Amino acid sequence: GNSVTQMEGPVTLSEEAFLTINCTYTATGYPSLFWYVQYPGEGLQLLLKATKADDKGSNKGFEATYRKETTSFHLEKGSVQVSDSAVYFCAWRISGGDYKLSFGAGTTVTVRA
């Protein structure tokens, strides 16, 4: 069936380190792909998205490229800050049908000063 698999956490980094969170998808067809972020004690916010192959989503210094050949949508940031500490969710949505958004398990990231 359709699904996303994302890197397990928790991930602990120092400020200014490079962050990568892997996400791969399995789908029949071409899903839209999303990264959502949940800061401590808060709700879910869309971080970025890509709707077709080779699209690159970017926001707040984060980037992810929709790669059909590797069925991946890895999240990257070149220099993290303490304020980037959060849970990051990879998600997918197939066009048509019920349009529901399905999530990966989430990756907890902690950035230390």
Partner 1 sequence: DTAVSQTPKYLVTQMGNDKSIKCEQNLGHDTMYWYKQDSKKFLKIMFSYNNKELIINETVPNRFSPKSPDKAHLNLHINSLELGDSAVYFCASSLTVPGNTIYFGEGSWLTVV
Q: Is 89 in the site for partner 1 (CB under 8 A)?
A: yes
Distance CA 56, CA 15 (A): 25
Residue from 6, 23, 25, 49 that binds partner 1 (CB under 8 A)?
Answer: 49
Q: Is 87 in the site for partner 1 (CB under 8 A)?
A: yes
How many CB atoms neighbour CB 89 within 10 A?
A: 23
Q: Is 105 in the site for partner 1 (CB under 8 A)?
A: yes
- Please give the single-letter amino acid code of residue 74: H
Distance CA 65, CA 20 (A): 12
Q: Which residues lie near partner 1 (CB under 8 A)?
A: 32, 34, 36, 38, 42-46, 49, 51-52, 87, 89, 93, 95-96, 98-103, 105-106, 108
